[in-house]
């Protein structure tokens, strides 16, 4: 099962991105986590350009969403909301529908991002994504200065990540069984 991991941060030393990189390493088999790393290449959303084939980077983003079984988001909070880059990426798939019915979970790198998490949930619900609330976890990384290897090596953090993926895998399996 392939899960696409999307960070809402463009920062090189992003805690959210580090969490998703660690999640890729800590994911239980047979789950394979692929980090989406082209957020900064997506052009500003413009409905006039929202056609097929459209901008190449948008086509590649949509293809990655279509080709995965589920999506995991981790995002910082900016001014009580989701970063513009994350909202822009989501705007590119509102009309094309890649997230419609797709199992989606949120991983939080800080307990201080409740406004961003609520805003992201609202956008994803509007897009008809299948939010898996039981898979949502907070891995308290803010201010700890941990690297990817440190996150994976921490038994508590690795257990939270595995728990989330096990819940996601259950929903994906259930979805495949439905006629």
Percentage of the chain lying above the pLDDT 70 cut = 99
> For residue 64, with 0-12 CB atoms within 10 Å meaning exposed, 13-18 middle and 19 or more buried, which class applies?
middle
Angle (nearest 5°) at CA 98 between 28 and 63: 75
Q: What are the DSSP E strand ranges found in the chain?
A: 2-7, 32-36, 70-74, 103-108, 130-131, 137-138
pLDDT tens-digit readout, 50-65: 988 889 999 999 999 9
What's the mean pLDDT in 13-37? 96
| Spatial CB neighbours of 150, under 8 Å, sequence gap ≥ 6 | none
Q: How far apart are CA 132 and CA 72, in angstroms?
A: 10
pLDDT confidence of 33, banded at 50, 70, 90?
very high
Total number of domains in the chain: 1
- Residue 91: both structure tokens together: 């705007």
Q: How far apart are CA 6 and CA 37, in angstroms?
A: 8
Q: What are phi and psi of 9, to 5 degrees?
A: -110, 140
pLDDT confidence of 8, banded at 50, 70, 90?
very high
Which has the closest alpha carbon to 105: 142, 68, 158, 79?
A: 68
pLDDT tens-digit readout, 76-109: 999 999 999 999 999 999 999 999 999 999 999 9
List the domain range (segments joined by +) for residue 156: 2-177
pTM beyond 0.85: the answer is: yes
Residue 179 has pLDDT above 70, yes or no: no
Q: What is the CATH number of the domain that holds 160?
A: 3.40.50.360
């Amino acid at each position: 099962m392939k899960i696409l991991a999307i960070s809402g941060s463009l920062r090189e030393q992003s805690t959210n991105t580090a969490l998703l990189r660690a999640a890729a390493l800590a994911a239980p088999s047979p789950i394979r986590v692929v980090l989406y790393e082209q957020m900064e290449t997506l052009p500003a959303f413009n409905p006039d350009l929202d056609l097929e084939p459209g901008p190449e980077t948008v086509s590649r983003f949509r293809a990655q969403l279509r080709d995965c079984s589920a999506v995991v988001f981790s995002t910082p909070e900016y001014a009580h909301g989701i970063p513009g880059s994350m909202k822009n990426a989501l705007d590119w798939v509102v009309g094309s529908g890649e997230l419609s019915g797709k199992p989606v979970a949120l991983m939080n790198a800080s307990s201080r991002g409740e406004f961003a998490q609520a805003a992201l949930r609202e956008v994803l619900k509007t897009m008809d994504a299948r939010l898996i609330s039981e898979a949502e976890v907070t891995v308290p990384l803010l201010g700890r200065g941990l690297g990817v290897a440190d996150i994976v090596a921490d038994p508590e953090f690795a257990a939270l990540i595995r728990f989330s993926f096990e819940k996601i895998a259950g929903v994906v399996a259930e979805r495949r069984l439905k006629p």
